[in-house]
Structure 1
């Protein structure tokens, strides 16, 4: 099976209210070889801020793939704009709606602590989130109280205000952790939005400081004891690939338009399993 990998597509960073199917195909032809698509497209979170736009673009991409498997990311919780604020009472309602819209489509799956088997390959995953793992692993002799880490989180990620119904930087991790634990021993390909390793060598050197705790979680036990051959993630907006405990971990993000630089975009990453 050939699997294509992307994350952090941020649809609304590239497409606005007036766009056509041809616009979408023309743009993604810079990234995806539509003549050599994999059997499955895996998207590791951060589709965009508008659920209706997200599903419309996923359906366009589905014309070229037999299956699409995704999880949601932090931006998929954000309530921004009048439409979202009128449609949803909170972030979790928006996430539930996005997942429901995706899973109503034929052969498009949004994982939430469950496993989907496609041609004998088991894909497991959930949105995931970050925790204090980076601080514990890389600063073992220092104490970071929750209130100070929350202040650092608010300063480093000011768009946290767009996520309603949470108080602490790791509240969503506590919700997502049991979902990871339901599937990590049973899948061939694991998918989360957030990097499962808290080791600093698996992050861009410019981010190797305490704020990196908001870009990963300590998933050492899952990598060590899981059944997965691949762990696909996003969130970092850096192309990352490393091997830990015989698991190949891959991040292949598109990111924001202003990160692409001179019209150069990340190319689809294809693996065979």
Structure 2
């Protein structure tokens, strides 16, 4: 099986209110060889800020793939704009709506602590979240009260501003952790939005030794060490990254924002074979 990998596609950053099929395919033809697509397209979170646009673009891409598997990222929780704020009372309602839209389509899956099997390959997926693992692993002799970590969170990321329904930086991690634990031993390919390693060497070299990495990683060493997955696909950081831990190949292949991707011209699909 051939699997195409992307993350952080941020559809609204590229298409705004325009998402005709020809426009979408023209843009993604820079990134994807539509004559040699994989059997599965994995998108490791951050589809975009508008659920209706997200599902329409996914349906256009689905014309070229047998299956599309997604999980959701932090931006998929954002309540930005009057439309979202009118439709949803909190971020979790928006997320549930996005999952339902994706899972209602044939050959499209939005995983949420569950496993699907396609051609004998088991895909497990969960949004995941960040914890304070990076701080504990890389600064073991220091204490980080939740109040100080929350303040750093407020200063480092807009998540605290646009995610409605949480108070602390790791509230969603506490929801996601049991989902990870329920599937990590039983899948061939694990998919999360957040990097599962808190080790400094498994962060892009540009950002190493920065305490704010705690909002881009979680300490998943137990899962990498004791799981049966061959690959772990993730996103969130807008930097291409690959490393291997405990014989698990960990891959991040983000699109990111238009200024980071050369409006798509600097990014190519990553394809693996399982």
Common fold by TM > 0.5: yes
Q: Are 1:160 and 2:167 an aligned pair? A: no
Question: What secondary structure, in the 3-state scheme, does the structure 2 residue paired with 1:201 have?
Answer: helix
Q: CA deviation at 1:205?
A: 2.5
Distance 2:143 2:44 in 1: 32
Q: Which runs of 5+ in 1 are unaligned?
A: none
Q: Using the TM superposition, give the Cα deviation of residue 19 of structure 1 relative to its aligned residue in structure 2, in angstroms.
A: 3.0
Match of 1:255 in 2: 256
Q: 1:72 — aligned with what?
A: 72
CA distance in 2, matches of 1:43, 1:218: 22
Counterparts of 2:3 and 2:148, CA distance in 1 = 41
2:22, 2:31 → 1: CA distance?
Answer: 15
1:258-273 alignment to 2 at 5 Å?
258-261=259-262, 264-273=265-274
Aligned counterparts, 1:36-55, within 5 A: 36-55=36-55
After TM superposition, the structure 1 = structure 2 runs for residues 53-92 of structure 1, keeping only pairs within 5 Å, are 53-92=53-92
Measured against aligned partners, the alpha-carbon deviations of 1:68-90 in whole angstroms (never above 9, x if no partner) come to 01100000000001111111010
2:32 aligns with 32
What's the offset of the Cα at 1:203? 1.1
Q: Please state if 1:114 is matched with 2:114.
A: yes
Task: Output one character per residue of 1:143-187: Cα deviation in whole Å (capped at 9) or x when no partner.
Answer: 111000000011001342100010000000000000000100000
Do structure 1's residue 125 and structure 2's residue 125 form an aligned pair?
yes
Separation in structure 1 between the aligned mates of residue 4 and residue 242 of structure 2, nearest angstrom: 14
Give the structure 2 partner of residue 240 of structure 1.
Answer: 241
**Deviation at 1:53?**
0.3
CA RMSD of aligned residues (A): 0.9
Q: Report the Cα distance in structure 1 between the residues aligned to 2:55 and 2:42, rounded to whole angstroms.
A: 15
The 3-state SS of whatever aligns with 1:68 is strand
What whole-Å deviation, never above 9, does each CA across 1:177-218 have from its counterpart, x for those lacking one? 000001000000000000000011111233221110000000
Mapping of residues 112-261 of structure 1, within 5 Å: 112-208=112-208, 209-261=210-262
Q: Work out the number of aligned pairs and report it.
A: 273
